[in-house]
Structure 1
Amino acid sequence: MSPPSLSLIVEVKARHEEALGIATFELADPHGRPLPPFSAGAHIDVQVKEGVIRQYSLCNHSEERDRYLIGVLRDEASRGGSVAMHDEVQEGDLLLISAPKNHFPLKPAKRTYLLAGGIGITPLLCMAERLARTEADFELHYCARSAERMAFRDRIKTSSFANRVHFYLDDDTAAPALDLEKLLNEPEADSQVYVCGPSGFINAVISTGKQCGWPADQLHTEYFAGAETTSEDDGSFEVRIASSGAAFTVPADKTVYQVLAENGIDIMVSCEQGVCGTCLTRVLEGEPDHRDLYLDDDEHAANDQFTPCCSRAKSKTLVLDL
């Protein structure tokens, strides 16, 4: 049974090999009706196949209502979502998706910095389109391993904002590399920084920004994969359901979500990596061990909600508002 959030049926109108290992899928209503509107930075949940739901950023212009465009990197080490999109989803197929959601929205700014690593270009490309349309002051810095792996390069080079884009290729040793310290050296009170890409790239940008004095609320991130954690020191703990008083032990080798599901308590999940926030659950008592990349530092410190798909407990018991 599909989650109720997956309320739209779309047809794959076109599929293109955008770059090495990256395919784009153009999705539209099968009957030609307008799709729900979205804003720059938004994503959709896609049911790739039964039981497999993944999030993909929308990378077409946010004023378009006739289609959604997503870009998918084939990751052989993934849990099956990206591989299934590449190997099984073809033009003419019907997919079940959610309405657009946005946890990575643009904020008004005197100047905007967009920093993309690899497939992280997808939400930032939509942002660049929007900023260019509104004649805002911005620049896009796009890093990739090689030219053949750089998605949307031709589209960007022929865009109205091409003169605001800087490309960096790891295999081009003759060209200058992205100098984060130089770029972020002077914090600007009315500016915003957005970064998306591999975790290492995001962490480098954010740590450099903070070292240079940028306030946390001017640094915005969008992760595609969960944080790297170790389970060596994990122990068991108890979760208690507030409404019924039922209590269950969560062993070291299972997540809270898995234990609850085994006991007939359904929580809507999607990424299962603490990235999307779909499973966010209120905590009434106890201290979570936060392992997500969805909540910010202040939300973690409040300890009144957590992601049961990946987070655990520091206290012996967590009482959940279920």
Structure 2
Amino acid sequence: MSTAAQDVVSLTLTRPDGGRLPDWAPGAHIDVTLANGETRQYSLCGDRWDAHTFRVAVLRETDGRGGSAFVHDELAVGDEVLLGGPRNNFPLAPSPRYLFIAGGIGITPILPMIHQADLVGADWTLLYGGRRRASMAFLDDLAVHGERVEIVPQDEAGLLPLGTWLGAPRGDTVVYCCGPGPLLDAVEHAMTGAGWAPHRLRTERFTAAEVGAPVRDEPFTVELARTGTTVVVGPRLSVLEAARQAGATTLSSCERGTCGTCETTVLDGLPDHRDSILADHERAAGDCMFPCVSRSCTDRLVLDL
């Protein structure tokens, strides 16, 4: 456990028996369940080729629900935590060139992506912003990359120069962005305005995106295909809650549509996607959903539960 920046600690996690940890790929995250019962999701930001160590970084969130405060104030070297995953809702797609944009603690999933891009010989650049230089984690790790990285502390240089970086669309470039919601919204707006193709942007949100009202207010029916049980989902009940009441043992964690733990296959019907994970083409496919937040566009959904 070490300090990565002001209000950011880096945790190194190993198995008590020294055994091998699960393999993972850039963009993956794990669930960490703490001794106070809180479970949080953190991006893996260490060396994916080290089979015995996971590294995550935790930002102290003064307005959070207590998980980060526990890590900063209570967790000590030698304490045990429970891990779930890894899962990857933010995979690195093959591309000859990448533009990485990170805000604050959003640098964490980007670090292994940079390493992977170097391994395969892809061109890449990074635009990394934060409120203050002292609060920006892993600057020493990034310094070795020289001019490929532009560091923009807001108190020194203002907001990220998105217009400069995104003003000219490139068909050979995929943009990966992780950070606060306003940054992701600004990047999406800049790319749309500049004429980038929608599939050129990949994002990961730490907090749920704002969504409008559900497609329908009327109750709908959910059939659990594995048992044949049918349950009616009213406007104040989530699909996840309804499935559990009907006997399903679906795992979940954030229950806000950001972590991906409860991903469920849709066998019939059209889901009303309300998560912050799926890309547009994945939503259009309609073959999976996150029942903690998503609902139904049709009278009936059949789920692989």
> Which bracket does the TM-score occupy, shorter chain normalised?
0.7 to 0.9
1:259 is aligned to 242
Q: Does 1:218 find its partner at 2:194?
A: no
Contact 1:142–1:168 (CA under 8 A) maintained in structure 2: yes
Unaligned runs of 5+ in 2: none
Q: Cα 1:243–1:99, aligned 2, differ >3 Å: closer, same or farther?
A: closer
Contact 1:61–1:130 (CA under 8 A) maintained in structure 2: no
1:43 is aligned to 29
1:12 is aligned to none
Paired amino acid for 2:233: V
- Cα offset for 1:291? 0.5
Q: Does 1:167 find its partner at 2:125?
A: no
Q: Does 1:108 find its partner at 2:94?
A: yes
Paired amino acid for 1:211: G
Structure 1 range deviating more: 144-153 or 71-80: 71-80
Q: Cα 1:97–1:243, aligned 2, differ >3 Å: closer, same or farther?
A: closer
**In the TM superposition, what are the counterparts of 1:66-81 in structure 2 within 5 Å?**
66-81=52-67
Q: Cα 1:166–1:19, aligned 2, differ >3 Å: closer, same or farther?
A: same
Structure 1 range deviating more: 258-267 or 224-233: 224-233
1:9 is aligned to none
The 3-state SS of whatever aligns with 1:227 is coil
Paired amino acid for 1:268: L
Paired amino acid for 1:256: V
1:296 is aligned to 279
Contact 2:224–2:243 (CA under 8 A) maintained in structure 1: no
Contact 1:231–1:252 (CA under 8 A) maintained in structure 2: no
Q: Cα 1:171–1:274, aligned 2, differ >3 Å: closer, same or farther?
A: same
Q: Identity rate of aligned residues, in percent? A: 40
Q: Cα 1:49–1:286, aligned 2, differ >3 Å: closer, same or farther?
A: farther
Please point out which of 183, 186, 210 is paired with 2:165: 183
2:12 is aligned to 26
Alpha-carbon distance in structure 2 between the residues aligned to 1:246 and 1:33: 41
Q: RMSD across aligned C-alpha pairs, in angstroms?
A: 2.6
Unaligned runs of 5+ in 1: 1-14
Paired amino acid for 2:300: T
Paired amino acid for 2:151: F
Contact 1:275–1:294 (CA under 8 A) maintained in structure 2: yes
Q: Cα 1:284–1:47, aligned 2, differ >3 Å: closer, same or farther?
A: same
Contact 2:256–2:292 (CA under 8 A) maintained in structure 1: yes
Paired amino acid for 1:290: H
Contact 1:62–1:130 (CA under 8 A) maintained in structure 2: no
The 3-state SS of whatever aligns with 2:109 is helix
How many pairs are equivalent?
A: 304
Q: Cα 1:234–1:149, aligned 2, differ >3 Å: closer, same or farther?
A: farther
Alpha-carbon distance in structure 1 between the residues aligned to 2:136 and 2:33: 26
**In the TM superposition, what are the counterparts of 1:66-215 in structure 2 within 5 Å?**
66-157=52-143, 160-172=144-156, 175=157, 177-215=159-197
Alpha-carbon distance in structure 2 between the residues aligned to 1:216 and 1:50: 41
The normalised TM-score by structure 1 is: 0.83
Offset from partner CA, 1:44-75 (integer Å, 9 cap, x none): 22223476433211112333334211011222
